[in-house]
Amino acid sequence: MENPSAESCGGWRKLPSWLLTQTANHAHRLVTAGFSAVEARGYHYRVLATLDEFGPASQAMLGRRSGVHVSEMVATINELAERELVERAPDPADRRRNVISLTTEGRRQLRRLEKQLADQQDELLAPLSADERKRFTELLSKLLEHHDRRNA
């Protein structure tokens, strides 16, 4: 059976919600494959990048800043600590909690992940010019900010 093109179909194949969902699926597949190539997951990148940007933090603060849910944070920190990408140390202000910090190897892994992410962004956005990529990103940001505000 022949697969009809979006141009020959009416209705739903031209809806922005359908197009966004299908493109997001491709983006997820590409990024997941890129991170997998360097033995990482998306949560690893988000935690390492957040530590690089903001510095050491408690697990709770790190979760809020990175958007990693508390139910995933402990496992993510355990995985990163086992690979010596982050360190846990007692918080001097409150010994009941740990402070998580980025190690030198964690920074190296973050650079590898950033390279993978850049490569995957290039593949995802390949048909777009530099100006189109910039405008597309601006429009997606505008949509996300609008809906984040409405759901806050």
Q: Domain spanning 17-121 has what CATH number?
A: 1.10.10.10
Compute the half-sphere exposure of residue 14: CA atoms within 13 Å on the CB side of its CA: 7
pLDDT at 1: 44
What's this model's pTM, rounded to 2 decimal places? 0.83
pLDDT of residue 7 exceeding 90, the answer is: no
Q: What is the dihedral of CA 49, 53, 55, 59, to 10 degrees?
A: -50
Q: Which helix (H) or strand (E) holds 96?
A: strand 94-102
| pLDDT tens per residue across span 99-131 | 999 999 999 999 999 999 999 999 999 999 999
| pLDDT tens per residue across span 49-102 | 999 999 999 999 999 999 999 889 999 999 999 999 999 999 888 888 889 999
Confidence of residue 3 (pLDDT cuts 50, 70, 90): low
Burial class (CB in 10 A: 0-12, 13-18, 19+), 10: exposed
> What is the C-alpha separation between 135 and 149, in angstroms, rounded?
21
Kindly list the domain boundaries of the chain, sorted by start residue: 17-121
pLDDT at 8: 53
Confidence of residue 42 (pLDDT cuts 50, 70, 90): very high
